[in-house]
Structure 1
Amino acid sequence: MFSNLSAGALGLTLDHATAIDLAARHGFGGVDPDLEALRALGGADAVAEHAAAVHERGLEWGMGGLPIALDAPAAEFREQLMALPEALTLLRSAGVTRLGTWIRPMHEQLDHRQNWRLHLGRLSLVAEILADHGLRLGLEYIGPKTLWSTERFPFVHSLREMRELIAETGASNLGLILDSYHWYTAGETAEDLAGLTDADIISVDINDARADRERDEQMDLDRRLPYDTGVIDLPGFLGAVRAAGYTGPVKVEPFLAELAERPVDEVLTDIAARLERAVAVG
């Protein structure tokens, strides 16, 4: 595992060059790639040179965002699918190997079976294109009941369901984004993570939950920094991730607006220390 700076996950507005500089300065092991910044470099050769410079600073790539909305209207999805190979070529020129997205855990019109078929078909298409470019895709389930119960038909919102969806695609380059907040709000334990391997996990997010709310009262966008409250069993979660032999990025994703109001170096010193604890100890 390595600590990863994901500025967006922290609510920080940093351009790509600044994020790289800050990640290196604060001792992170990695930084998320930025597709638009790579496009601005002007071509595959320039992208490869940029990536080499990033690695020379001791940084690995974390996880990029999948530039496709899996639940988009059909015409929009087709357009995004047509544009995907160009984006993937750039990402591979940079040496990026991991992309990720989240699965919306409810729908107002599509029942579970209809939504399952939609995602199964689209994921199979996307996974095949990604495989042609040597890329893996992480899928994140969303655990809070306060979110998945807000529309008529709940959809995938647990580790078990996500693993079933991935398995049914038959794609070997699909895996999990494991988020301690969703793991906790889904009512899961370290035992639920037993048997996972490094090949099953694309990325890991850590955070804590509010101490003044019960599990089913927790809100998706109202979290706490890891180790702040102890509501989430981070040692158990990370111990299971470590037992899986996971070698990828670990980032903090708290959705705390107050972080953007503090000096950025102060924030990143704090975040780097929490990630160092997580990666080294759990």
Structure 2
Amino acid sequence: MFSNLSAGALGLSLDHTQAIDLAAKHGFGGVDPDLAYLRGLGSKAAIAEHAASVQERGLSWGISNVPVALTAPAEEFRASLDGLPETLGLLSAAGVTRVGTWVRPMHDDLSYRRNWVLHVSRLHLVADLLADAGLRLGLEYIGPKTFWSTERFAFIHSIGEALELIADVGKPNIGLILDSYHWYTAGESAIDLVGLTDADIVSVDINDARDDRQRDEQQDLDRRLPGSTGVIDLAGFMDAVRAAGYSGPVKVEPFMKSLAELPVDEVLADVSSRLDRAINGPAA
């Protein structure tokens, strides 16, 4: 696995070329692709040349968002599918292999079962398009009770449910986005990660939680940098990720507005160091 710079996940306003330069400067192993930047290059040949230059800097691609809303109205969903092949062609030309989205953990109108059926049918379609482009899809479950309990019907908000959904879809290019914050807020432990393999995990996020809130009081968009409070058993989480033989990107996604107020180099040096310690163990 490798440390990945996702500037947006850190709340930093960096353009794509800045992100690449800073990722290389601070020892990250990868950087997220930027769809808008790739589209602006104008041709697949230019995209491939850009991707080669990124690789020459010692960087791998992280993960891109997939622009499809799984619970959108039918007409909107069909329209997003119509535009998806063009987007996937750009990512494929760049050599990107991972895209992701999150599963909305509640719904005001759809019962659990009806929502399940909707997700299975739509994920079938999306996964087939992604497979044609050589892409894997990561699904991220959302753990905080303060979020999934806010609408009439709760939906998937645990690793067990997410794995069941993936199994029901039955497409080999769908896996998990594992986030230590959602793992913690879902009340899970390292035992819940036993048996996972590299094929099951598309991307990994690591974060910590506030130490002045109980688990069920934690807010989705109010996290802490990994290792800051020790509320989350990050060592146990990462031991399980290593045991799975995971080989992909690991990023930090704390939703801390205060980071944007600090010098960028200071933030990235700190984040890079935290990622290295998490990936390689306490002695790193």
TM-score range, shorter chain: over 0.9
Residue number in structure 1 paired with 2:73: 73
What is the CA–CA distance in structure 2 between the aligned matches of 1:13 and 1:101, rounded to whole Å? 21
Residue number in structure 2 paired with 1:241: 241
Residue number in structure 2 paired with 1:139: 139
What is the CA–CA distance in structure 1 between the aligned matches of 2:72 and 2:52, rounded to whole Å? 35
SS of aligned partner of 2:250: strand
SS of aligned partner of 2:220: coil
Residue number in structure 1 paired with 2:126: 126
Instruction: Write the deviation string for residues 116-137 of structure 1: whole angstroms up to 9, x where unpaired.
Output: 1111111010001100111000
What is the CA–CA distance in structure 2 between the aligned matches of 1:21 and 1:69, rounded to whole Å? 32
Residue number in structure 1 paired with 2:14: 14
Instruction: Write the deviation string for residues 225-257 of structure 1: whole angstroms up to 9, x where unpaired.
Output: 100000000000000000000000000000000
Residue number in structure 2 paired with 1:187: 187
Residue number in structure 1 paired with 2:40: 40
What is the CA–CA distance in structure 1 between the aligned matches of 2:249 and 2:266, rounded to whole Å? 22
The residue identity in structure 2 corresponding to 1:55 is Q
1:219, CA displacement in angstroms?
A: 0.6
What is the CA–CA distance in structure 2 between the aligned matches of 1:229 and 1:27, rounded to whole Å? 24
The residue identity in structure 2 corresponding to 1:117 is V
Q: Please, what TM-score do these two structures have when normalized by structure 1?
A: 0.99
The residue identity in structure 1 corresponding to 2:277 is R
What is the CA–CA distance in structure 1 between the aligned matches of 2:97 and 2:128, rounded to whole Å? 14
Residue number in structure 2 paired with 1:275: 275
Residue number in structure 2 paired with 1:222: 222
SS of aligned partner of 2:202: strand
Unpaired stretches in structure 1, ≥5 consecutive residues: none
SS of aligned partner of 1:137: strand
The residue identity in structure 2 corresponding to 1:28 is F
What is the CA–CA distance in structure 2 between the aligned matches of 1:155 and 1:208, rounded to whole Å? 24
Instruction: Write the deviation string for residues 22-81 of structure 1: whole angstroms up to 9, x where unpaired.
Output: 101111000000111100000100000000000000000000001111111111111110
* Identical counterparts, % of pairs: 71
Residue number in structure 1 paired with 2:169: 169
1:138, CA displacement in angstroms?
A: 0.2
Residue number in structure 2 paired with 1:57: 57
SS of aligned partner of 1:268: helix
What is the CA–CA distance in structure 1 between the aligned matches of 2:13 and 2:111, rounded to whole Å? 37
Residue number in structure 2 paired with 1:111: 111
The residue identity in structure 1 corresponding to 2:95 is G
What is the CA–CA distance in structure 1 between the aligned matches of 2:107 and 2:14, rounded to whole Å? 33
1:13, CA displacement in angstroms?
A: 1.2
The residue identity in structure 2 corresponding to 1:74 is A
The residue identity in structure 2 corresponding to 1:8 is G
- Please, what is the CA RMSD of the aligned residues? 0.6
What is the CA–CA distance in structure 2 between the aligned matches of 1:278 and 1:60, rounded to whole Å? 19
1:100, CA displacement in angstroms?
A: 0.3
The residue identity in structure 1 corresponding to 2:268 is L
Unpaired stretches in structure 2, ≥5 consecutive residues: none
